[in-house]
Structure 1
Amino acid sequence: MPASQTLFNRTKKEYLLFAHLPFSKPNEIYASDVACLIVTWYMLKNSGDDILFLPEYDSYESALEPFRHNINEYVEVTDHIVDTLIQSKLIIDNGHLWTDEDDATIYERNLIKNPNL
């Protein structure tokens, strides 16, 4: 089974983590309008940067090693990117699809692509 993906920008030392979004595996990303919008927007805004997807279970350290980067130097920008796309009216935030009853920090957001695009 394919592992969840993380998008790394080795140039800017930041990453997008799909943890609270209803897509994280390759086929889920391909099939989601919102995922495609997020990834395409990010890549166009950061054109020319060294960007790659890594499976969650691969060693991030080994992929970052050639650039002498430490994963702890990277900043997660997922919420910032999603919030920017919501403010730009490209994505509509419909709250949460679900929240874990025992741990409110475990949830999935209910985001849709703006149908008026």
Structure 2
Amino acid sequence: MGVGYQMVNWSRRERISFAHLPVNTRREICGNPVSASIVAWYLATRQGDEVQFVPDQGEWPFPHGSLEEALTYTDVTDTVIQELIGAQILRDDGIEWADTDEPDSVHIRAIKNIWMDGEP
């Protein structure tokens, strides 16, 4: 498995962990229409902030702070998904997959990018 990434906004002390989405690596984040929409929307609506993709292993990209500190930042993945649902770009179809032993914490959401489909 490749290096996993999250997006960290040092200015606002926020992060997008991509939790419960089927993405982790740079390639997956860029290639998945849902996560690509999350990234584009987040950057477009928070212009001027210090935002970087941070690997789960390797060098910290900011001149200040640390990965350990970033893990305490507010995870806004769900908030941004809700913003995109409100903008009729994404749709939440519930749970795509859940672990039978831990369905509340180990699951993948069924989020779909509907913008090009013209679906409400």
TM-score, with normalisation over the residues of structure 1?
0.85
Corresponding residue SS for 2:34: helix
Displacement of 1:3 in angstroms is 1.4
Please give the per-residue CA displacement for 1:55-105, whole angstroms capped at 9, x wherever unaligned.
12346xx555x3347336511111111112112211011111100000011
Note the aligned Cα RMSD (angstroms): 1.9
Please give the per-residue CA displacement for 1:17-59, whole angstroms capped at 9, x wherever unaligned.
0120011211111211111111000001111111100112346
Q: What residue ranges of structure 1 are gaps of 5+ in the alignment?
A: none
Identity %: 28
Aligned to 2:43: 43
Name the aligned partner's letter for residue 116 of structure 1: G
Corresponding residue SS for 2:30: helix
Decide which structure has greater helix share: 1
Aligned to 1:67: 64
TM-score, with normalisation over the residues of structure 2?
0.83
Aligned to 2:18: 18
| Structure 2 residue 25 is matched with structure 1 residue 28 | no
- Kindly indicate whether the alpha-carbon contact (under 8 Å) linking 2:8 and 2:70 is maintained by their aligned counterparts in 1: no
Aligned to 1:116: 118
| Structure 2 residue 2 is matched with structure 1 residue 2 | yes
Name the aligned partner's letter for residue 83 of structure 1: Q
Aligned to 2:75: 76
In 1, the alpha carbon distance for the partners of 2:39 and 2:70 equals: 20
How many residues get paired? 114
In 2, the alpha carbon distance for the partners of 1:63 and 1:21 equals: 24
Structure 1 moving runs of 4+ over 4 Å: none
Q: What residue ranges of structure 2 are gaps of 5+ in the alignment?
A: none
